[in-house]
Structure 1
Amino acid sequence: MNENETGMAAVEIPDVTVIIGAYEAMPYLIPCLKSVEAQTLGADRIEIVAVNDGSTDGTGEYLDEFAARSKVSTRVVHQENSGGPSGPRNVGLDMARGRYVFFLDADDYLGDEALERMVAMADRNGTDVVLGKIEGIGRGAPKSMFGRTLERTDLFSSNIKFTLSAEKLFRRELLEKHRMRFDQQLYTGEDARFTLEAYVRSNGVSIVADYVCLYIVRRDDGKHITQSGSYAMRFDSATALMDLIADFFPPGEQRDELMIRPFVITLLPQFDHRWLKAKTGTRQDKLELAQPLTDKYWTPGVARRLKVPERLRLHYVAEGRADLLEEHLRFLQAKEVPEVVRKGREGKPYLAYPHFGDKEAGVPDEMYAVTVPEWVDGVRVSVPKAGKPKPSFARRVVRKLRRMARGTAAGRPARS
């Protein structure tokens, strides 16, 4: 590994160190670096640490050229390919001097005011992590947590658990205090584990929702790590995140609330329509890889927080019921609509997916119960509000007769 520092003299304590790990990043690297130069925070308040992770496409040469001419203090590290994003990020973090760090992927870019707004937010509130609004270029982007700007929030007061990429502003003091680094044994999902730990350990999180701070770009060459890699990596990622949650939170409501994220975002996609197309061996292998996770962390508390079609899929996975999972997926694939069945005096809604009420299949009715609002054939189905049960027809008749009798006794004409 060799390091090359050129360009303007390095500032002693910059506000932000932008860490960029780059592998075969051309031509995406060009707008990425331009966006850092264009920051309204000012070149004298920023430094870049760029790690060329064994590129052969001119990425390293372009980084050296940029460092030689840019007003932003830039240090470039050239190293052999590490096989994933964790190594370059850790190298950058070891070299960082800023009060804050921002991990910027080489194929993404910043909005011009991003760092200025995020630094101001963190300084104003004393928060350790700042999320900036994200917009996707040719790909989707998380939205549910960016409904409004929040000066201070946490894991249980917002939807931040659903955005765990590392492209956020972190107070470096927090990371160094806990010696936080990316797990180099993980080749996908390493950022989720790192970011969730930062959320948990932080003195609050802020959200900038009124300005697009980050543009995430879909690569046309398919070299982005989330577009490649074996399915086994996804199970490793889910395991790491679930184990981390369990380390911080004992069994109970908070653990169940956070477990939604790895179950729905990481594990569930392994059992979608693509599972139907997979070979029998692959299908079975995925069920076996999921078994230790469902044995430890699939609980009634997690289940009731999910929509019925998600819950059923994970229930079948937990029970190892490949036959029922296949039927359920084919029902979804055919875009069939389940009947809404209401039971009990309160009219509790159930969605009659395949095998609802089928004693032989052995699926508990509660797996079909609507516990969170969801849409069925364009109609919103909600959980009945808790309260007094609606009186039966017979009881309503008795009450009416009593009112009529009281009216007659008082000399008032009875109302029919």
Structure 2
Amino acid sequence: MNYDLSVIIPTYNVERYILKTLSSISTQTFKGNIEIIVIDDCSTDGTVEIVKDFIKQNPQLEINFIQQEKNMRQGTARNLGVSVAKGKYVFFLDGDDFLDPTSFEKLFKKAEEFGCDFVICDWTYYYEEKGLVYVNNDEFMFKDLLIGKETELLYNAETYFTVNKLYNKEFLLKNNIKFGEGYIYEDFEFYIEVAQYANKVGVVQNPLYRVRVNEYSTTKTNTNSTLHVDSLLIAVENTLKKFNPRSEMAYYNVYKYLIKKTLTYLDRRAPKKYRKSTLRKVLELLNDKKKDYEVPKNVVPLYHFLFRRKYIQNTKVNLILFVWFLYKKGKLNAILNIAKKIKWKVFNSKIGKKVINKRRQSKINSFYQQPMKNKSILFLGFDYRYAGNSKYFFDYLKERKDLNIYFVTTDENVPKKYRITPRSMNFYEKLATSNIVIAESWVPLAFNKREGSTWIQLWHGTPFKKLFFDSHEFYISNFNKNHKRNKQRDISKWDYLLADSTSGAEKLELAFDFDRDSIMNYGYPRVQWLKDNVNNTELKNSIRKTLNIPENKKVLLYVPTWRDYNYKSKNLDLSYLLKVEDLEQKLGDEYVIIYKEHSMGSKSYKHNKNIIIPDDELETQSLILISDVIISDYSSIIFDGLAIDIPFYLYITDFEKYADARGVYEDMHEKLSDFYVNNEDELSFKLQNIEKQYPFGRYEEIKGIYSMNKNEKNAYILLENKINEILEK
């Protein structure tokens, strides 16, 4: 029987972890045929018994269990796995690592769609005590595909992992790509060759592969022997023999990697007396392969000394000692960073600021020593704004006399007794002593979480545009290499995450790599407010009066969203915007158009008879409530309108450009595309004939998927019950 993919798992003394590894395969959402090949390399613990028991307990799985007769290392096991694999694709999974349930579904789909030699997914570390910790910031993860010489961008990786990739088996066999055998660091040469021979590599931005930080692994043990030294030299020599890149810059990147890893491994895994001689041998191997090659122009002189072989050739011993001294003193990267970026004036300025802020920080730290206040809740607001889910849940909860509730904002619409000035000393005290902290967007990393406190993330919308790990977020990540790393640190502080529908919960789970059991699919407070007031004629009339909307006018609400490709741009590209004046002229006097620009957009229109630009203080929900139709693009506002049966159209003229910058979810694109419009004439025609030509059948289908049913329990009450549950613990 042929399989869609073969999962190859070498095992050696992994009794603590192998069950979770195997279970992460059995729970995959992938619907194709999977073959599991477990190759045990003479384990001396209970690994074999656990694997055999798993096979008995899961007869529905195709598992080929092979036991090697003698210990021949991981590379031999992996090569054997490839030789017996019957799958079109092969995936290497270490016996102590595990996978996200959607891994094979996403990787296989990408491989098949684009005919990739292999597909790479992002990865994250896993610690028993801390859980998932995301650290990767490899720049090639900002792309969707690497084509031709671009595949050698893989040489820029911080770590040369071979395990987070789905390989076309034919690609490996055709190029005779194999792991080194009989020694550790056997994956150096394999990684070099797959990057060297590949012509098309798919990229999945989600961190699907979990690398367990395991103190018992082969690379963390036997540090008093020469095992690591001997294996490293063999691995470097064999790698260089097979290294024949397509670009000159590849030499610099690979040499840099090999030197950095040599320094790290010698420092942590080798007896002291072997360190200098081993480093010297590695540098000699690099010299023998190639001395002169292209070096990036923006590299500081120390890099030239380190990586230009012609310098090493003349003053080899002195330079080795010099490099080792730098490394031991401050980790080479840190020293280079200082040499390149920090001038003494700036350095002194930073020191001065630290001295000035020392007392302030000491005071803040002291708040965390104070006892937590009973039944205290701190709302961080929507980026300190009194808006969105935060506003409506706060308004509902503040009626409780038994709670101590505070809202972080300068908005005077929040009564003074509840209002906390952002980043004030009062704020830091409340942050440190509150039982519950409620946010609605990203929380600054400087805000420390108190042990014993519970953080609830309300978020701010059902995503149509791809979110965080589901997107390469090219423009943001390219500007800030640590963007995703820092945001994941924020996510790791969240105890609960709010969703507005089952489909929304599924998207948030994958996008944030968040535990599904901790996602509260209760519905949004701001949407609950709409449901509660959909028949409130008095309130609607009051809002219309505030905006001077005549009684006989229909209301069209236009709410475009922000574009990633305008991030940090001095010259905003606003060509995607609907020409509101043109549409107003085409519609005549039937409609009033309310144009609610995005808070990060550019104010570009003024009032006229039928075009209203509302004040920022007027909540978007109030505008939705009085609308007869909503026009947006990639905004989640349309899902709020679904809850009270407001029809919508999506004015989209930049789909391909937006896809390159962020992208939208494919399943939602398929269902929502019936509502796409790309010019004012078509939009005007559809609006004037909305009762006859609107796709009401598709609308009802979408409402069933992306909106909470009107008869479901009240979002306020569900959230309040969760608050009570937390406070009672």
Match of 1:235 among 220, 233, 240: 233
| 8 Å Cα contact 2:280-2:320 kept in structure 1 | no
User: For residues 273 and 169 of structure 1, what CA distance do their matches in structure 2 show?
Assistant: 28
Local SS of the residue matching 1:101: strand
| 8 Å Cα contact 2:5-2:33 kept in structure 1 | yes
In the alignment, is residue 299 of structure 1 matched against residue 310 of structure 2? no
The structure-2 alpha-carbon separation of the partners of 1:191 and 1:334, relative to structure 1 and needing over 3 Å to count, comes to closer
Q: Report what 2:218 is aligned to.
A: 223
Local SS of the residue matching 2:125: strand
Q: Report what 2:147 is aligned to.
A: 153
The structure-2 alpha-carbon separation of the partners of 1:305 and 1:83, relative to structure 1 and needing over 3 Å to count, comes to farther
In the alignment, is residue 75 of structure 1 matched against residue 64 of structure 2? yes
Amino acid at match of 1:136: Y
Match of 2:198 among 196, 202, 206: 202
| 8 Å Cα contact 2:151-2:195 kept in structure 1 | no
Match of 1:175 among 163, 172, 175: 172
| 8 Å Cα contact 2:152-2:196 kept in structure 1 | no
Local SS of the residue matching 2:43: coil
Q: CA deviation at 1:334?
A: 4.8
**Any residues of structure 2 matched to 1:265-414 within 5 Å, and which?**
265-271=257-263, 282-302=275-295, 306-314=299-307, 317-327=312-322, 329-330=324-325, 333-334=328-329, 374-376=340-342
Question: Which range is displaced more, 298-307 or 47-56?
Answer: 298-307
Amino acid at match of 1:376: I
Local SS of the residue matching 2:304: helix
Q: CA deviation at 1:27?
A: 1.1
In the alignment, is residue 102 of structure 1 matched against residue 91 of structure 2? yes
Local SS of the residue matching 2:36: strand
| 8 Å Cα contact 2:122-2:209 kept in structure 1 | yes
Unmatched runs of 5 consecutive residues or more in structure 1: 1-11, 338-349, 354-373, 381-416
Q: Deviations over 1:139-189 (max 9, x none)?
A: 88543145424134345366322253221100112223334332315x233
User: For residues 243 and 287 of structure 2, what CA distance do their matches in structure 1 show?
Assistant: 14
User: For residues 124 and 181 of structure 1, what CA distance do their matches in structure 2 show?
Assistant: 26
In the alignment, is residue 64 of structure 1 matched against residue 56 of structure 2? no
Match of 2:106 among 117, 120, 138: 117
Q: CA deviation at 1:329?
A: 4.5
Q: What TM-score, normalized by structure 2, do the two folds share?
A: 0.41
| 8 Å Cα contact 1:141-1:216 kept in structure 2 | no
Amino acid at match of 1:240: N
Q: Report what 2:256 is aligned to.
A: 264
Q: Report what 1:40 is aligned to.
A: 29
Question: Which range is displaced more, 261-270 or 24-33?
Answer: 261-270
Q: CA deviation at 1:274?
A: 6.1
User: For residues 204 and 184 of structure 1, what CA distance do their matches in structure 2 show?
Assistant: 27
Unmatched runs of 5 consecutive residues or more in structure 2: 128-132, 348-729
User: For residues 312 and 36 of structure 1, what CA distance do their matches in structure 2 show?
Assistant: 47
Local SS of the residue matching 1:208: strand
User: For residues 73 and 99 of structure 1, what CA distance do their matches in structure 2 show?
Assistant: 15
Q: Report what 1:401 is aligned to.
A: none
User: For residues 264 and 37 of structure 1, what CA distance do their matches in structure 2 show?
Assistant: 39
Q: CA deviation at 1:204?
A: 0.6
Local SS of the residue matching 1:183: coil
Q: Report what 1:190 is aligned to.
A: 186
Q: CA deviation at 1:327?
A: 4.1
User: For residues 53 and 265 of structure 2, what CA distance do their matches in structure 1 show?
Assistant: 47
| 8 Å Cα contact 2:236-2:258 kept in structure 1 | yes
Question: Which range is displaced more, 279-288 or 13-22?
Answer: 279-288
The structure-2 alpha-carbon separation of the partners of 1:78 and 1:274, relative to structure 1 and needing over 3 Å to count, comes to closer
| 8 Å Cα contact 2:266-2:275 kept in structure 1 | no
User: For residues 209 and 337 of structure 2, what CA distance do their matches in structure 1 show?
Assistant: 39
Q: Deviations over 1:176-217 (max 9, x none)?
A: 3334332315x23322322332233334101101x2210111
User: For residues 244 and 295 of structure 1, what CA distance do their matches in structure 2 show?
Assistant: 14
User: For residues 267 and 207 of structure 2, what CA distance do their matches in structure 1 show?
Assistant: 36
User: For residues 305 and 82 of structure 1, what CA distance do their matches in structure 2 show?
Assistant: 46
Q: CA deviation at 1:131?
A: 0.2
Q: CA deviation at 1:66?
A: 1.3
Match of 2:121 among 125, 129, 132: 132
Amino acid at match of 1:151: L
Q: Deviations over 1:77-125 (max 9, x none)?
A: 1123433111111121111111100010111111110110000001000
Q: CA deviation at 1:34?
A: 0.9
| 8 Å Cα contact 1:188-1:233 kept in structure 2 | yes
Q: CA deviation at 1:375?
A: 2.9
Q: Report what 2:6 is aligned to.
A: 17
The structure-2 alpha-carbon separation of the partners of 1:319 and 1:288, relative to structure 1 and needing over 3 Å to count, comes to farther
| 8 Å Cα contact 1:13-1:98 kept in structure 2 | yes
Q: CA deviation at 1:132?
A: 0.6
Local SS of the residue matching 1:133: strand
Match of 1:26 among 15, 39, 63: 15
| 8 Å Cα contact 1:125-1:152 kept in structure 2 | no
Q: Deviations over 1:301-321 (max 9, x none)?
A: 247675543432345654453
| 8 Å Cα contact 2:151-2:201 kept in structure 1 | no
Amino acid at match of 2:45: D
Q: Percent identity?
A: 20
Question: Which range is displaced more, 70-79 or 145-154?
Answer: 145-154
| 8 Å Cα contact 2:180-2:235 kept in structure 1 | no
Q: Deviations over 1:120-140 (max 9, x none)?
A: 001000111100111112488
User: For residues 215 and 352 of structure 1, what CA distance do their matches in structure 2 show?
Assistant: 33
The structure-2 alpha-carbon separation of the partners of 1:96 and 1:226, relative to structure 1 and needing over 3 Å to count, comes to farther
User: For residues 44 and 320 of structure 2, what CA distance do their matches in structure 1 show?
Assistant: 45
| 8 Å Cα contact 1:238-1:267 kept in structure 2 | no
Q: Deviations over 1:288-340 (max 9, x none)?
A: 44314213323242476755434323456544533344345545655599xxx
Q: CA deviation at 1:240?
A: 2.1
| 8 Å Cα contact 1:17-1:46 kept in structure 2 | yes
Q: CA deviation at 1:73?
A: 0.9
Q: Report what 2:38 is aligned to.
A: 50
RMSD of aligned alpha carbons: 3.6
User: For residues 158 and 85 of structure 1, what CA distance do their matches in structure 2 show?
Assistant: 25
Q: CA deviation at 1:260?
A: 2.6
User: For residues 57 and 230 of structure 1, what CA distance do their matches in structure 2 show?
Assistant: 23
Bigger radius of gyration, 1 or 2?
A: 2
Amino acid at match of 1:214: Y
Q: Report what 2:585 is aligned to.
A: none
Q: Deviations over 1:250-280 (max 9, x none)?
A: xxxx1x3222343122224434796799756
The structure-2 alpha-carbon separation of the partners of 1:377 and 1:80, relative to structure 1 and needing over 3 Å to count, comes to farther
Q: CA deviation at 1:48?
A: 0.1
Tell me which of the two structures has the higher relative contact order, counting C-alpha pairs closer than 8 angstroms and 6 or more residues apart.
1
| 8 Å Cα contact 1:129-1:199 kept in structure 2 | no
The structure-2 alpha-carbon separation of the partners of 1:324 and 1:126, relative to structure 1 and needing over 3 Å to count, comes to closer
User: For residues 34 and 190 of structure 2, what CA distance do their matches in structure 1 show?
Assistant: 23
The structure-2 alpha-carbon separation of the partners of 1:141 and 1:50, relative to structure 1 and needing over 3 Å to count, comes to farther
Local SS of the residue matching 2:161: coil
